Structure 1
């Protein structure tokens, strides 16, 4: 792993839509252990470590760092993985990184979830004092109060407390510098990505009022409060956080299913759903989410144009059963029988006469059924 990149863990299918998960100050990507594997069923999940935390090199940031510096490191990581546009969820400092990305790099953030975080962290003084403390004394004294700052009484996650103890003091202090300088309140209204705010009702560090302030400023944002959760709600109440994130991020699958029904018809989609089994469920989700939720919803091409392209591709590969289905879809998308015939005639030139002959036979059968 090159020291120019944040340490990270990638989970889920490479073909799935990407999702980037950001950590809280003092933790590693282990913060997401109870949530990321579930999200990776439908997404390519990338969770990363802050500089000097987990496996990330401390030298990635220095004194006087800003949240924008951390956001740049996240973009560099995404670029190295071939990820352009991604969903993003972050906790506390990780959530601040998400807000910065949504404001300054809106073209990269498809949707956003900000968890137990804030658009400002109560001014600079307390963070400057904490930075000075860890630079002078190291992490041990601060770690003693980790459970009280992170969880409700009686709850702990030893792995995360150990991550806190193992964090590099200089890098931790630089992250404190970033929190001290962070205040994005005046830019919140510029956020265009669909945004979810998740608050822990018992969070002393970023109380629900901080998340409500963001929700009130970001157009169309939603707010969920989790009872019994403190600052690290992702670790303390993973099921509740997962439910909220799924409802927010899986909107593409829902829209994809709507488009799939509009183009192919309810009868066909219902048959496909009835035949679905646990073995084929992820494939059906992939079709709805990727083919119909991302490709067919892209406004660059009209549905008429997409039908023409699809017919041609199916003829080229000899998929005549599916061609019949897409002839019906083409009619539903506004193509006339003459236009469908013209598309198939074009395939005779570029895909071959035998392929076009079979395609005309399949299309004629479908069009005759429709006339009947």
Structure 2
């Protein structure tokens, strides 16, 4: 690695859409260890280290550095890798770099995700004081309190604390200078790329209000709040962050969510998302990405035809709770009660009379409920 470029790690097919991942102050690209490999299935993922952090040379920035300087280093890395336009996601200072890129170089950023970050980090004074402290005493004291700033009580990632302790003090202080000077609140309305804000509900460093401020100012921006997450959400709640990023950056997942809402209705999808936990996040992403984003969007069959096939399959396997949901979906896809009855009658021949009997009972209940709900 040359001293003129940021240290980085590239993963995923070289031909895939590029996605750059930026770190938080005091960490290395190891912050993304539980997320980047999963994203690399559909993206050319490039995660990078701040100057003086991980494997990046400390001399890449100096006193009085700005977030614009860091954005320039990211662009130089992208240029060296032959990447013209890219998606970008960053945490804290890395998120600020993403905002700077979006306002100053909109032609380079295709889509943006800002995680546990801010458009203005509470003014210059705290960062000027931290820079002075680090230049005077080094990083050992700050490293000891890293867990309290980064995570909820009882959680830690030793590798990241080690990275904090081993960062170059002068480069760390220069990054503090950049945070002290950063303020793009007046320029957020200029951002025109698809933008996602991800907040940790337990984040005391950049509370959710910081992300809401950005979401309110950036046209069309979306906001996701992750329960239980503090400042380094990709390390503490990787599955939830992964789901949010996949939905934002992956066309199949986005289209899948749209189709899922069109077929099943907003109330059902809203309930499913409200019940989502870190344990179920990957399964929900799987459903949106593959079932709805690839199968239900295939134009070979109409949605009416897909509904008839789905009803038959659910009867065959006795999934009557799912059958009730898809009877409603079939009505949304244009099937009449008579056509639904004809499908279920067909299942009596090929799936068995007892299965069809239960299916008719389920469908009759759902259709009666719809009649009661109709104005």
TM-score by length of 1: 0.70
Post-superposition offset of 1:252: 6.1
Q: Show the counterpart of 2:175.
A: 175
Post-superposition offset of 1:260: 10
Answering whether residue 73 of structure 2 is matched by residue 69 of structure 1, we say no
Q: Show the counterpart of 2:53.
A: 53
Deviations 1:166-195 (A, max 9, x none): 000000000000000000000000000100
- What is the distance in 2 between the residues matched to 1:260 and 1:206? 37
- What is the distance in 2 between the residues matched to 1:225 and 1:250? 19
Q: How do 1:262-281 residues align onto structure 2 when only pairs under 5 Å count?
A: 265-267=299-301
Answering whether residue 269 of structure 2 is matched by residue 235 of structure 1, we say no
Answering whether residue 159 of structure 2 is matched by residue 125 of structure 1, we say no
For residue 148 of structure 1, give the secondary structure of its aligned residue in structure 2.
Answer: helix
Post-superposition offset of 1:53: 0.0
Structure 1 portions without partners, runs of 5+? 275-372
Q: Show the counterpart of 2:290.
A: none
- Residues 260 and 130 of structure 1: CA distance in aligned 2, closer, same or farther (over 3 Å): closer
Deviations 1:135-162 (A, max 9, x none): 0000001111100000000000000000
Deviations 1:43-73 (A, max 9, x none): 0000000000000000000000000000000
Post-superposition offset of 1:214: 0.2
- Residues 41 and 95 of structure 1: CA distance in aligned 2, closer, same or farther (over 3 Å): same
Answering whether residue 104 of structure 2 is matched by residue 104 of structure 1, we say yes
Q: Show the counterpart of 1:196.
A: 196
For residue 180 of structure 2, give the secondary structure of its aligned residue in structure 1.
Answer: helix
- Residues 150 and 260 of structure 1: CA distance in aligned 2, closer, same or farther (over 3 Å): closer
Q: Show the counterpart of 1:12.
A: 12
- What is the distance in 2 between the residues matched to 1:253 and 1:118? 27
For residue 229 of structure 1, give the secondary structure of its aligned residue in structure 2.
Answer: coil
Post-superposition offset of 1:265: 4.5
- What is the distance in 2 between the residues matched to 1:78 and 1:252? 25
For residue 34 of structure 1, give the secondary structure of its aligned residue in structure 2.
Answer: coil
Answering whether residue 242 of structure 2 is matched by residue 208 of structure 1, we say no
- What is the distance in 1 between the residues matched to 2:26 and 2:11? 22
Deviations 1:197-241 (A, max 9, x none): 000001000000000000000000000001111000110000010
- Structure 1 runs of 4+ aligned residues shifted over 2 Å read 251-261, 263-268
Work out whether residues 247 and 253 of structure 2, in 8 Å CA contact, stay in contact via their aligned partners in 1.
no
Work out whether residues 246 and 253 of structure 2, in 8 Å CA contact, stay in contact via their aligned partners in 1.
no
Count how many residue pairs are aligned between Structure 1 and Structure 2. 271
Post-superposition offset of 1:244: 0.5
Deviations 1:320-345 (A, max 9, x none): xxxxxxxxxxxxxxxxxxxxxxxxxx
TM-score by length of 2: 0.69
Q: Show the counterpart of 1:341.
A: none
Q: How do 1:284-323 residues align onto structure 2 when only pairs under 5 Å count?
A: none
- What is the distance in 1 between the residues matched to 2:121 and 2:153? 23
For residue 119 of structure 1, give the secondary structure of its aligned residue in structure 2.
Answer: coil
Structure 2 portions without partners, runs of 5+? 260-292, 310-375
